[in-house]
A and B are shown apart, each in its own frame.
Chain A
Amino acid sequence: MTSYGSYRPIRLSPQRRSLARVLAKDSPLRRLDWIMILAALTLSLGSSLLVWSATRGRDSLTHGDPQYFLYRHLTNLLIGLVLCGTVITIGNRRVRTAVPVVYVAVLLMLAAVLSPLGSTINGAHSWIQFGGGFSIQPAEFAKLGIVLGMALLLSARVDAGEREMPSDRSVLQALGLAGVPIGIVLLMPDVGSVMVMAVIILGILLASGAANRWVFGLLVAGTAGSIAVWQLGILSKYQIDRFAAFANPALDPSGVGYNTAQARIAIGSGGLTGMGLFHGTQTIGQFVPEQQTDFVFSVAGEELGFVGGIALIGLLGVVLWRACRIARQATDLFGTVVCAGVISWFAFQAFENIGMNLGIMPVAGIPLPFVSYGGSSMFAVWIAVGLLQSVRSQRPIGI
């Protein structure tokens, strides 16, 4: 501090002073991972064009305003960015202390879905409708709750320097903590989100340094659980149909297999450079259902071609690569585990969503992070970006 005090040759105006503070080497802004933010922002802004293209002709959805979804998508993004900034401002340490509050809030939201407040869309009772066409999907936020809650439990004693790795007890506690929201989501039933949560848990256990037996145990349990779910008939008919159509796409091309077949035609016909934005015949003709949400990637594939599709995947890759970097550089296990959770979450959702568009994964109602239209997803994803940034902000200057 002394050296800093003596080195003060010029008195700056308040504005210049704040600018200098912002640009200073240790300023919070300099500590952010701008590459990730730019990549994520490019994805979200670009996706607004895709969402627009997919919806501008769908009069039944847009109520006659072709830009309806464009504006809504951009509004969602703006809210997401604000949430992201808020999380960064709060900072990693304070977030850590607030984890229990977040977790309880998530549980309450999930419970509300099961109450008469909830409503059903596309076979899943996973929405809370508000007035004015506004609704949220608490399962998206539940992913945040699980990441934060598990990270807190698993890292507590390690970060305190008491242990080298999470104890079996912490692992069990963490699993129990994750189990509650998963159970509620399974009741909706929103199998897609449960799959994502299971993968998040796996990633978290992996990164937390938990004993190998937990990691492998979870894999075995997951597999067994899937078989059990299938055998016990917990899945509803439409979910079974989706799997059947995935196993055999030629099965009933006008029924269950229609979505995937049309999405694949759209993507395939895009060729190397695509038909040009707003010129995709599959998109204009509205041949792909749910094209602004689950099948938004097909717009990119058809209208922007292989070049655009690879760019989109590449941008997701940039986000994930930077997230991995942050995870490696985190100063505490809590940060590392949070990063790993978010990475697993983003990576799996991206793979499942694009995979089902490309016909290599079964259809599940999972949004493509940053890209799919939908407020809850957009908010949750940008909050997660905020978490990653705040982990990074914690690291020492110079890295």
Chain B
Amino acid sequence: MSNIPETGRTRRVTIRLVVLQILVLSLLATLGGRLWYLQVRNGSEYAAKAQGNHIREVVEPAVRGEILDASGRILAGNETKLVVSVSRTALLQQKDHGKAALTRLAEVLGMSVKDVENKVRLCDAKTPQPCWNGSPYQPIPVTQQATTQQAMQIMERREDFPGITAQSTALRRYTGVEGANAAQVLGYLSPVTDDEVTKSADKSGRDRRQPSDQIGRAGLESVYDDDLRGTTGVDKLEVDNLGRVIGSAGRTPAQPGDNLVTSIDARVQKVVEDQLAQAMADARKTYDKETQKNFEADSGAALVMDVHTGRIVAMASAPTFDPNLWVGGISAKDYQNLTGKDSNYPLLNRAIQGQSAPGSTFKVISTTAAVQAGYSLDGHYACPKSLTIGGREFKNFESESFGDISLERALEVSCDTVFYGLAYDQWMKDGGIKPKKDPADWFFKTAHQFGLGAKTGVDLPGEVPGRVPDRQWKQSFYDANKDAWCAQAAKGGHEYADEIARENCVDGNVMRAGDSVNFAIGQGDTLVTPLQMARIYSALANGGTLYRPTIGKAVVSPDGKPVREIAPHVDGKLPDDGKLLSYIDQATAGVITSGTAAWKFTGAGWPQGTIELHAKTGTAEVAGKQTTSWLTTYSKDYAVVMTISQGGTGSGGSGDAVRRIYQALYGVDDKGGIDNSRALLPKPQAELPKFNPDGTAVIQQAAYPAGSSFLDPTPPAGAQAPVDGVPAALEPTRSTGRGRA
């Protein structure tokens, strides 16, 4: 360095150069640090942003699984429609932005060019309908009703129709196979809400909801939605800053949903629906002496249960609806018709959501309660025409008296006063108006043991639990209403309601004698669902086992391979011992042969000697309304329960209908002859249907001819022609149910 010549630099300049160098260095270091922060420390965050920037997802809806009946008939399936759709992204890549292609398309479809153009334009604030509301990357359907010829023209001249496809697309179809409607059982679909899409956004595969998804909103469609839905396919497209598609980032194909095999038999379902409708129609032609007008028969439910498994073979609810109204979006008018104030709520499944007092059908429970409380089955009990309890007179129906009778006879003839007496006796033993610390409450306890006051756990949504009006319920009801009662009482009115309110305000929480005895005949505040009763009568038939009612039998893959079976589930046992069960068996058979239902069964030619049926009728009182008809029955295979609101007596309202259901099941003609070849289902179908390799079920051709339009109640060929109005006078003078006080 010794030979450095004079550089012209002073020390000052040297220092300044060092300062300059340090400044430069620190600037570069700053950049490096910031780069590290962006790329290494926060890299994944920005990678996610970049992903969202340039990936657009086009969803391909999965074909929804089918709902099959026990033999594999399609109750809810899919209908293929030829849908012609237009991909905007492909159109916009054309030189003329697809104008020529759309013109050709309009020509092929026989639509005006303007109509087609309007359908594929995107909606915005200024664009009126029709316009496309969905994602601009999703193919836009122009028509769902293309003919095969139109589709061929489009697909064969692809170069003339860039971005236009004609594809068969699956739409939900409730087939009404064999004439079965089963609307409330099957349920319906409706589009996913924004909220549901947002909530499932962080999930993947099947659990992730796509904006194009349909979701089961009721019935089996809702409960088995996860099985039926399948996995939506996703086509990930790479797009540029203007949204033009520049490549593909992977594709997940759609996977069809699994099929659900149910225990429903479409043919039996059809019979049950028709018979319920017929029974209601008949009731409307029947004169009610009490209200001095024909019965309203505003709603009803009927079901058939396999007593050995709890599986439901048929379940009908009236009024009903056409589930196909929901396909492709329900119209506002239809929705109003189904849910409005004047609709009578056909969406309700009255077999599980309709609750009413069971009336005398409850007496099998009362009988069990009496035996549990220590009354002898061999004893005889007084059946006077009335009993005065707590200052009120409790009468038998039409003030009949039978003298001292057995419990069996009390069930057969449905003597109320026997059960009033037993319940009053028990109430007194439990301390009466000043209850003991730990009352036995045999009647309430037994009701709970029979599964009342609780949901059965059936695989349908929205089931109601009914109500056992025990001491606990009385207390909570009192707590909830005390203030209102006392307020009304304080007004000092003298109407009947005011008196009741005054009474309730003072001691509404106390179990009174009247409450107790009313409960013993299934009246008062007692509420049950038809399904609960079917389950109880099934248990009586099968030796005391309470099964959990089910409709789903198995989930099978689209190609027919079993995915999972839904096995019968035992929820409990009736408290009856074998002796009591056979006693009740005998008594309920007596109802068929010589009791309240005899005129509709053995009296109408039922071959009781060959096929033994058991029944209990019920005619429940409802304040301000006509009586509810209940008929709860069982054979060794099935329990059949029918109830009709404002439908008359148990046997009068439902007797013919329930008998005809049995006739159809066992192939019995009106004269009592049995033809096995005409029997719809002499044994419940235990096996799952067989499936072809393509996933369709192998269906045995039915010997029994299918009904016509499934909403039009025509009688099945196996049963007799409908009776035009059942004159009330034909009914035996004494019937079922409680005496009218």
Interface residues in A46-69 by Cβ distance below 8 A to B read: 57
**B241 contacts partner chain A, Cβ-Cβ < 8 Å:** yes
Shortest CB distance B455–A (Å): 52
**B250 contacts partner chain A, Cβ-Cβ < 8 Å:** no
Give the complex CA separation of A310 and B33 in angstroms.
10
Task: Given the known inter-chain contacts A268-B46, A281-B53, please indicate yes or no for A306 contacting B35, CB distance below 8 A.
Answer: yes
A336 touches B9 (CB 8 A): yes
Give the complex CA separation of A324 and B24 in angstroms.
9
Query: Could you say which of A159, A272, A301, A324 contacts B21, with CB atoms under 8 Å apart?
Result: A324
**B40 contacts partner chain A, Cβ-Cβ < 8 Å:** yes
User: A26-34, A98-106, A183-191, A343-351: which lies at the B interface?
Assistant: A343-351
**B497 contacts partner chain A, Cβ-Cβ < 8 Å:** no
**B477 contacts partner chain A, Cβ-Cβ < 8 Å:** no
Shortest CB distance B722–A (Å): 70
A269 touches B8 (CB 8 A): no
**B54 contacts partner chain A, Cβ-Cβ < 8 Å:** yes
Interfacial residues, chain A to chain B (CB-CB below 8 A): 57, 155, 158-159, 164-165, 203, 206-209, 262, 264-272, 281-282, 284-287, 301-302, 305-306, 309-310, 313, 316-317, 320-321, 324, 327-333, 336, 340, 343-344, 347-348, 350-351, 354-355, 358-360, 396, 398-399
- Could you say which of A281, A343, A351 has the most chain B C-beta atoms within 10 Å of its C-beta? A281
A351 touches B30 (CB 8 A): yes
Interface residues in B7-43 by Cβ distance below 8 A to A read: 7-10, 12-14, 16-17, 19-21, 23-25, 27-28, 30-32, 34-36, 38-40, 42-43
**B3 contacts partner chain A, Cβ-Cβ < 8 Å:** yes
Interfacial residues, chain B to chain A (CB-CB below 8 A): 1, 3-10, 12-14, 16-17, 19-21, 23-25, 27-28, 30-32, 34-36, 38-40, 42-47, 49-51, 53-54, 238-242, 246-247
Query: Could you say which of A285, A310, A327, A399 contacts B239, with CB atoms under 8 Å apart?
Result: A285
Q: Which residues of A contact B239 (CB under 8 A)?
A: 285
Residue of B with least CB distance to A310 = B32
Please name 28 pairs of A and B residues whose Cβ atoms are closer than 8 Å in the assembled complex, sorted by A: A57-B246, A159-B8, A165-B10, A165-B12, A208-B13, A209-B13, A268-B45, A268-B50, A269-B47, A269-B51, A271-B39, A281-B50, A281-B238, A282-B54, A284-B54, A286-B241, A301-B38, A306-B35, A313-B32, A320-B28, A324-B20, A328-B17, A331-B7, A336-B8, A350-B31, A354-B35, A358-B31, A396-B5
A305 touches B13 (CB 8 A): no
Residue of B with least CB distance to A325 = B21
B17 touches A340 (CB 8 A): yes
Residue of B with least CB distance to A158 = B8
Give the complex CA separation of A175 and B24 in angstroms.
23
**10 more A-B contacts (CB under 8 A) besides A165-B10, A286-B242?**
A207-B16, A209-B16, A267-B46, A270-B43, A285-B246, A306-B35, A317-B25, A330-B7, A332-B7, A396-B4
Q: Which residues of A contact B12 (CB under 8 A)?
A: 165, 209
B20 touches A207 (CB 8 A): yes
A358 touches B13 (CB 8 A): no
B20 touches A306 (CB 8 A): no
Q: Which residues of B contact A330 (CB under 8 A)?
A: 7-9
B38 touches A287 (CB 8 A): no
Give the complex CA separation of A159 and B27 in angstroms.
31
Residue of A with least CB distance to B21 = A324
Give the complex CA separation of A159 and B5 in angstroms.
13
Q: Which residues of B contact A262 (CB under 8 A)?
A: 53, 241
Shortest CB distance B35–A (Å): 5
A267 touches B38 (CB 8 A): yes
B238 touches A206 (CB 8 A): no
Give the complex CA separation of A330 and B9 in angstroms.
8
Residue of A with least CB distance to B25 = A317
A contacts with B: majority SS: helix
Q: Which residues of B contact A344 (CB under 8 A)?
A: 20
Q: Which residues of B contact A159 (CB under 8 A)?
A: 8
Shortest CB distance A330–B (Å): 7
Shortest CB distance A332–B (Å): 4
Task: Given the known inter-chain contacts A281-B238, A287-B240, A327-B17, please indicate yes or no for A268 contacting B30, CB distance below 8 A.
Answer: no
Query: Could you say which of A286, A327, A399 contacts B4, with CB atoms under 8 Å apart?
Result: A399
Shortest CB distance B462–A (Å): 46
The 7 closest A-B pairs by CB, nearest first: A268-B46, A269-B50, A271-B43, A285-B240, A306-B39, A269-B47, A351-B27
Task: Given the known inter-chain contacts A265-B49, A267-B38, A396-B3, please indicate yes or no for A347 contacting B23, CB distance below 8 A.
Answer: yes
- Could you say which of A265, A287, A358 has the most chain B C-beta atoms within 10 Å of its C-beta? A265
Shortest CB distance B258–A (Å): 37
Give the complex CA separation of A266 and B51 in angstroms.
10
Give the complex CA separation of A194 and B34 in angstroms.
25
Task: Given the known inter-chain contacts A268-B42, A285-B239, A347-B23, please indicate yes or no for A333 contacting B34, CB distance below 8 A.
Answer: no
Give the complex CA separation of A57 and B245 in angstroms.
13
Query: Could you say which of B30, B35, B50 contacts A309, with CB atoms under 8 Å apart?
Result: B35
Shortest CB distance A309–B (Å): 5
Task: Given the known inter-chain contacts A209-B10, A282-B50, A332-B8, please indicate yes or no for A268 contacting B20, CB distance below 8 A.
Answer: no
A313 touches B31 (CB 8 A): yes
Shortest CB distance B419–A (Å): 77
Shortest CB distance B245–A (Å): 10
A316 touches B28 (CB 8 A): yes
Query: Could you say which of A155, A272, A287, A327 contacts B241, with CB atoms under 8 Å apart?
Result: A287
Shortest CB distance B42–A (Å): 6
Give the complex CA separation of A164 and B44 in angstroms.
57
A331 touches B49 (CB 8 A): no
Q: Which residues of A contact B38 (CB under 8 A)?
A: 264, 267-268, 301, 358-359
Residue of A with least CB distance to B52 = A265
Give the complex CA separation of A317 and B30 in angstroms.
12
B20 touches A281 (CB 8 A): no
A268 touches B49 (CB 8 A): yes
Q: Which residues of A contact B46 (CB under 8 A)?
A: 264-265, 267-269
Give the complex CA separation of A359 and B30 in angstroms.
12
Query: Could you say which of B3, B24, B42 contacts A347, with CB atoms under 8 Å apart?
Result: B24
Shortest CB distance A317–B (Å): 5
Q: Which residues of B contact A209 (CB under 8 A)?
A: 9-10, 12-13, 16
Query: Could you say which of A269, A305, A324, A343 contacts B49, with CB atoms under 8 Å apart?
Result: A269
B50 touches A354 (CB 8 A): no
Q: Which residues of A contact B30 (CB under 8 A)?
A: 351, 355, 360
Give the complex CA separation of A310 and B37 in angstroms.
12
Q: Which residues of A contact B28 (CB under 8 A)?
A: 313, 316-317, 320, 347, 350-351
Give the complex CA separation of A351 and B28 in angstroms.
7
Give the complex CA separation of A270 and B53 in angstroms.
14
B43 touches A269 (CB 8 A): yes
Give the complex CA separation of A172 and B38 in angstroms.
44
Shortest CB distance B29–A (Å): 9
A301 touches B31 (CB 8 A): no
Shortest CB distance B31–A (Å): 5
